[in-house]
Amino acid sequence: MVVKNICCIGAGYVGGPTMAVIAYKCPGIKVTVVDVNEARVKSWNDKDVSNIPIYEPGLEDIIAEVRGRNLFFSTDVEKAIDEAEMIFISVNTPTKTYGLGKGKAADLKYIELCARQIASVAKTDKIVVEKSTLPVRTAEAIKSILDNTGNGVKFQILSNPEFLAEGTAVQDLLNPDRVLIGGGNDEGGTIAINALADVYASWVDRHKILTTNVWSSELSKLTANAFLAQRVSSINAMSELCEKTGADVNEVAMAIGMDSRIGSKFLKASVGFGGSCFQKDILNLVYIAKSYGLNEVADYWEQVVIMNDHQKRRFASNIIKTLYNTVSGKKIVFLGWAFKKDTNDTRESAAIYVADDLLNEQANIAVYDPKVSEPKILNDLDYLGTRSETENRKGVEVYSDPYEACKDAYAIAVLTEWDEFKSYDWGKIYKNMRKPAFVFDGRNILDGEMLKSIGFVFQSIGK
């Protein structure tokens, strides 16, 4: 089977970049990304590619080359479904905030809506690809909907989880460690797997394209994120012990990272992991384990999230303690709001929760982030529901100039590891701050000795 038309439902952080790269590498395939969010689709179609809704290094250049050639963004979901031989589902699967599994289970309502819409529209056989991060055995539910509410059309369900890191998503797509495709082991399943494998084989070596059953593929995604998050929480747990004992967490990380059995990745102490995947996927894993009565397994993985939350609270507490146990009325600057550099994604960013704790102590928060807008920052705080929208706007001011943000501040907290922060004129910043002037490096990216030589009181995680 040769795929000529692909539809992707969902124009978010996964669907947009993934489909752009597929269109870029497969000029013979028409790729249509659809979304019911008209404003988002309009942004993807903006003539100025710098205004596309997602910031990823290299993405603008690819969009500029393929948009209108064989990549299209539309709100006409039914037309795209009807024309496609292969449909990717790439919608949001947030943690449930209601009912059974509240706070841990994945909310699959958007997945179900997609499946029902595909079933009602499709008139020819389709390959449906799970691209969203889903709990194990979701494909079974999707297939049940498609087989029982459709028009007699035959569907094949594949699991093709993404293993993208925001900030390097384009390079991760162009040069993946592996591409994982899970499908059925019958003749139809094999044909579907091969069809998707052929798409990726346009630029990915065949030996990097792994095939499994659907359940293994679904669970592999959750497992990968759980393992990576566990490493972050492990080194953060050690960072607190380092502070008490006089050890340096960076030196400890370097020492253990040189062990080939461990490796150096995800061993950078920080104020905590964020993003849309780690916490959501671990809590999903916890829920799945508990649903099978595996309470010890669930407790083990839940501790990773507990440690992550502790690290955020500890960072805020350290700021308060260092500033003489009161931050009331004091201007504290946040350099960075995104959960990591090279992305405008703020989901579960540590900055949100540190700001929340400091606002509870009546601090005045000044924020500068090169890629995150003021409405997004304020919406993140409003979503927590800790304070009214009026109170959040009174306590938070967003700046477009980092030097103006730092003027008359008592302290600076580095919450995102943007490279530009390293190149600032810190002497100029120090001159215009209140004295003593404090810097709290939550990402371990600044030169502490240099800052101390200027006159700053400098503190970082794990020292």
Q: Which of 85, 93, 78 is nearest to 36 (CA)?
A: 78
Catalytic, out of 8, 114, 242, 277: 277
> Length of the chain in residues, anyone?
463
Question: Pairing between strand 331-335 and 209-212?
Answer: unpaired
Q: How many CB atoms lie within 10 A of CB 187?
A: 8
User: 367 and 337 in contact (C-beta within 8 Å)?
Assistant: yes
Can you count the helices (H) and strands (E) in the chain?
18, 14
User: 111 and 142 in contact (C-beta within 8 Å)?
Assistant: yes
Q: DSSP string covering 294-338, please?
A: -HHHHHHHHHHHHHHHHHHHHHHHHHHHHTTT--TT-EEEEE--S
Q: Where are the beta strands (DSSP E) in 15-134?
A: 30-34, 71-74, 86-89, 126-130
Q: Which of 274, 373, 333, 353 is nearest to 55 (CA)?
A: 373
Q: What angle do CA 421, 423, 429 make, to 5 degrees?
A: 75
| CA 462 to the chain's CA centroid | 25
β-pair partners for 209: 179
- What stretch of H or E contains 79? helix 77-83
Catalytic site includes residue 277: yes
Q: How many CB atoms lie within 10 A of CB 266?
A: 17
The residue written with tokens 């593929």 in the block is: 217
Q: Where in the sequence numbering do the catalytic residues fall?
A: 277
